[in-house]
A and B are shown apart, each in its own frame.
Chain A
Amino acid sequence: MAAEAVFRIAELKKSFGPIQVLGDVSLDLHPGEVTVLMGANGAGKSTLVKVISGVYSRDGGAMTLGAADFAPKTPAEAIRAGVVTVHQNINDGVVAALDVGTNLTLDRLSGKGQPLIFNPRRVQREARAVAERMGLDIDLSASIGDLTLADRQMVAIARAMAHEPKVLILDEPTSSLSSAEANRLFALVDRLKSHGVAILYISHRMSDIRRLADRIVSLRDGQIVGTFDSKPLDYEGAVNAMLGRKVHQSAFAAKSGGKTIFTADNVVIADGAKPISLSLGDGEIVAITGLVGVGKTALAETLFGLRQPLGGSMTLNGSSYTPRTPAEAIAAGAFLVAKDRSESGIVGAFNIYENMSLPFLKRISAFSVLRRGAERAIARRQIGELGIVCRSEKDDMSTLSGGNQQKVMVARWMAQPSSLFMLDEPFQGVDIAARRDIAAKLRASAAGRATLVFVTEIDEAVETADRILVMSEHTIVGEHRNERIDMDRLLAEVAGQTARGAA
C-alpha cells in the first residue's frame, strides 16, 4: 500500500424510506491510487457518490478526510473541503453558453471575496494556469458548444481540478467516449495520480478497469462484497463478487445460420468507403464490432431506412429491400433497438406498457382505437419474458434502473416477430446481470429471424454472437466465427490501418 489513507468511509448507511440502499459501507482511498468501484445497476454506486459529494446526507457511519470529520451539507461544501466529483452526465460539468476559459474558472465567479466586475483578462490568465497544470490542450476561447464530448469531459475534469482536490470521484467518465478519447482521459488520470490525488473511479467497462485500477472494490446490494488489491488484480473475482454469481464465458456453441434472410450487396454507406456485402441467415446472431465512429450506427440506420445507401442493393426474405423511412422498414419486418435509449428510445411521459407498444399501436388497436387490455397483456408477457424488475406494467420508466430500462427497449421490439432484428449498442449503460439476461434472451429467441448486434466492446460481441464482423472506416474488414477466435487478428482489424492500439 502506498501512503496512509487520505479519505475514510466507515460503516456508512443510507436509506430512502424503508429501503436501505447503503448498509455499512467502509472504504479507504489512498493518495496516488486509483480505486475502482464496481457494482451492478442498483447496487448503490450512485447513492454512495451522492453521499460523498454532499448531495445526500448520510444516515449513519462516519467519513473522515485527512484527520477531520467530513460531513458536507451541500456539494459546494464538499468541493471546498477538497472532495470533487465529476458526474456521469458530461454536460452537468460545463456551461455550454460560455467559453472554455470561463468554464475552467467558473467556480471563482461566485462566493465571498470575489470582485464584482467580470474581468475577461484575469479569467483567461487564471484559466491558462489551470489548463497548463492539467496539460489541457484546448483553445481557451473556444465555445463549449463547439467541443466534442471528450473535450468537454476534459474541461469538466480540469475545472474540478482547479480546486486542487485531495479526492477525485469519476462517475462512469468513459460512458460516452470513444476508445481514442478514453485514452486521453486515462492519460489525464495517470497525471492526477502522480500528483498524489486519491481517485475513486466508478465504471463497469472492463477495458477501463484493466487499464487503470490499482485496487478494485465490488459493491452489491449496498455492501462492499470484495476488495481486490494484490497484483495481479483478480478481475474475474471482482466481477463475480459484484454479481454474486459465477460468470460464464460464452458458454454456448456457435451456430451457423439457416436459410438466408437478409443480404446486402455492395452497399456503400459513406462517401469514398469500400462497399459492404453481407448475408445473414435464419437463427444466427451476428455481431458487428469496431471502434466508435467507424460507421456501425450508419450501417444500422441504413438498414432501418433512416438514411439511404450511396450504392448497392439489399434483400430481405428474398425480395428487394429499399426502406425509405423507419415505418417502411418496420412494415418489412426489420426492427432496430436504437442506441442511447434516453435520447432515442424512452418516451419519458409514458409508463412501461405505453413505451413497449409504441411501434405497434396499429396492430393492437381496432379501428384506430387502442385496445388497452391487449396492450397491457403484451407488456406483462414481455416483463416476464425478459425478467424486468418492476412493480407492474404501469410503472413510470424513471423508476427503473438502467438495465431494466434497456430491457423495456428490447422488449418493445421483441413483442412482435421480426425478420431482421438489429440492436445498436444494446449493452450501453447496462449492468452485467441485465446484459447477460438480454444476451440470453436474444439467443433463446433467435430462431426465425436474423439478429444483428452492433457493439464497440469486443467482450460483448464474444458473449452474444455466433459470428463476429469487424468494421473499420465505414466498411467490413474481417469476419470471425465465434469459436477459438484469433484475438490478435481481430484486434488488428479493429485497429485498422492506423493501428490506434487495441480497443
Chain B
Amino acid sequence: MRDIAVRYGFLVLFAALVAYFASTADGFVSPQSAVFIFQSVAITGILALGVTATLVVGGFDLSIGSVATSAMMAASYVMVVLNQNALVAVLVCLAIGVLIGLINGFLIVYMRVPDLLATLGMMFLLLGLQRIPTEGRSIATGMTMPDGSVAPGKFSDAFLALGRYRFDFFAPNLVPVSVVVLVVLAVAIWFFLEYTRFGRMMYAVGSNERAAELAGAPVKAYKIWAYVISGIFASIGGILLAARLGRGDIASGNNLLLDAVAAALIGFAVLGASKPNAFGTAVGALFVGVLLQGLTMMNAPYYTQDFVKGAVLVVALVFTFALSTRAKH
C-alpha cells in the first residue's frame, strides 16, 4: 500500500491537479492551452534534462542557467555584430556548450574541485563573461556599438523561425519548434539513460564509483561526458531563448537555473524512482507548467508563482526522501 502510494502518488496528484483545473478554469482543456503549457516549460525542461545527466553520475551542474544565457548572447553577437547566418550562430552556441561542459568536467574530475563549487564558479564566470563583448549592453538588431557605429547584422529570419514557427498538429500553426525540440530531447535522453549501456554505466558511476571502475568503466570519461551533455542541452535552451526573444537580453534567464533544478528534483518523486531520471524530470517540468498555467487562468497573481514552485518542490522531496524506503540506502 505504501509502495503504491510512493510509486503513483505523484502522478495521481498530477492527474488530480489537471482534473481540478479542467473543471474550474474555463478553456484549460484545449490544444492551445496544452501547447502554451508545453511552451512555457520548454526551455526550462531542456535545461532540466541536461542537469539530470549530471545528477545521474552523482554530480550537479549549477552553470546551466548561465550557459543558456551565454549561448543566447553569443548567438545574438554572432548574428548582429559579426553579421553571420543562423547556422553559424547555432554551431557557435553548441560549441560553447561543449566547451563549458568539458571545462566543468575537467575541473571536477582532474582538478578535484567539488561539483557544486566548480559549476558555481563557472556560473559566476559566465555571467560576467557574457557582458564583456558588448560592455554590458543587450544585443538587438540595429543596436549602437560602444564605438558609436551601428551593428551591421541582424537576427536572421531562419533563426527567428526557431522561436516563432509553429507546426500543424490537430490545429494549423499550433506546435512551436521549442516544444518539438523538448519532446525530441526528452525521448532521446530518456532512451539513452534507461536503455543503453552508457546510461546504465552512468547510473553505476553515480551510485558506486569504485564499483563501476572495477567493472572496467572509464569513470572519468563518463563524468566529463555528463557535463558535456548538460552543457549542450543548456546551450540548446539558450538558442531557443534567443530565438523567442529576438534579442540578446542581458536581463533574461534569471529563473532558468532554479526552475530547471526544481524540475529535475521533482522528477525524483515520479514513479517512486528516488533517483534522477529523464521521465521524472519531464513530468516535473510539466507539473510546474500545469500548476502555473492553471493558477494564472484562475487569476492568481504572478508574484505567487515562485512560492507555488517552492511548495511543489518541498512536497516532492518529502515523497522522495521520507516516504520511499529505497532512498535510505
A residues with a Cβ closer than 8 A to B are 304, 306, 325-327, 329-331, 336, 338, 343-350, 354, 358-359, 361-362, 365, 368-370, 396, 398
Contacts and interface: CB of A to CB of B under 8 A. Distances in A.
B208 A347 contact: yes
A396 B200 CA distance: 16
Given A336-B214, A350-B207, A362-B197, 20 more contacts: A304-B214, A326-B213, A327-B216, A327-B217, A331-B216, A338-B214, A344-B208, A344-B210, A345-B214, A349-B204, A354-B200, A358-B215, A361-B200, A365-B196, A365-B197, A369-B196, A369-B197, A370-B197, A396-B329, A398-B329
Among A344, A346, A348, A354, find the residue whose CB has the most chain B CB atoms closer than 10 A.
A344
A368 B216 contact: no
A365 B192 CA distance: 13
A344 B208 CA distance: 7
B131 interface: no
A344 to B, nearest CB: 4
B206 A349 contact: yes
B215 A359 contact: yes
27 contacts: A304-B214, A326-B214, A326-B216, A327-B217, A343-B210, A344-B208, A344-B210, A344-B214, A345-B208, A345-B211, A347-B204, A347-B207, A347-B208, A347-B211, A348-B329, A349-B204, A349-B206, A350-B204, A350-B207, A358-B200, A358-B201, A358-B215, A361-B200, A368-B196, A369-B197, A396-B329, A398-B329
Nearest to A357: B200
Interface string B128-161: 0000000000000000000000000000000000
4 closest Cβ pairs, A-B complex: A361-B197, A349-B207, A327-B216, A359-B215
A368 B200 CA distance: 10
Contacts of B204: 347, 349-350, 358
A345 B212 CA distance: 8
Contacts of A354: 200
Contacts of B197: 361-362, 365, 368-370
B222 interface: no
A370 B216 contact: no
B218 interface: yes
A344 B200 contact: no
Given A358-B215, A396-B326, A398-B329, A346 B200 contact: no
Contacts of A369: 195-197
B214 A347 contact: no
A349 B203 contact: yes
Q: How large is the interface on B (under 10, 10 to 19, 20 to 34, 35 or more residues)?
A: 20 to 34
Nearest to A343: B210
Among A325, A345, A361, find the residue whose CB has the most chain B CB atoms closer than 10 A.
A361
B196 A350 contact: no
A259 B218 CA distance: 33
Contacts of A349: 203-204, 206-207, 275
Given A365-B197, A398-B329, A359 B210 contact: no
Among B203, B204, B210, B215, find the residue whose CB has the most chain A CB atoms closer than 10 A.
B215
B124 interface: no
Contacts of A330: 215-216
Contacts of A358: 200-201, 204, 211-212, 215
Among B200, B206, B210, B217, find the residue whose CB has the most chain A CB atoms closer than 10 A.
B200
Given A326-B216, A327-B216, A358-B204, A346 B211 contact: yes
A350 B203 contact: yes
Given A326-B213, A349-B275, A358-B212, A370 B200 contact: yes
Contacts of B8: none
B206 A370 contact: no
Contacts of B210: 343-344
Contacts of B217: 327
A39 B41 CA distance: 57
Interface string B177-199: 00000000000000000011110
A100 B217 CA distance: 39
A329 B214 CA distance: 10
A139 B217 CA distance: 42
B215 A348 contact: no
B196 to A, nearest CB: 5
A368 B207 contact: no
A344 B210 CA distance: 5
A348 B214 contact: no
Contacts of B212: 347, 358
Interface string B247-259: 0000000000000
Contacts of B214: 304, 306, 326, 336, 338, 344-345
A348 B208 contact: yes
B234 to A, nearest CB: 25
Nearest to B210: A344
B195 A370 contact: yes
Interface string B272-300: 00010000000000000000000000000
A343 B214 CA distance: 11
A419 to B, nearest CB: 15
Interface string B298-329: 00000000000000000000000000001001
A361 B207 CA distance: 17
Contacts of A326: 213-216
Among B195, B204, B216, find the residue whose CB has the most chain A CB atoms closer than 10 A.
B216
B111 to A, nearest CB: 21
A330 B215 CA distance: 8
A331 B326 CA distance: 34
A383 B91 CA distance: 50
Contacts of B216: 325-327, 329-331, 359
A331 B216 CA distance: 9
Nearest to A304: B214
Contacts of B326: 396
A361 B325 CA distance: 28
Contacts of A345: 208, 211, 214
A346 B218 CA distance: 17
A336 B216 CA distance: 10
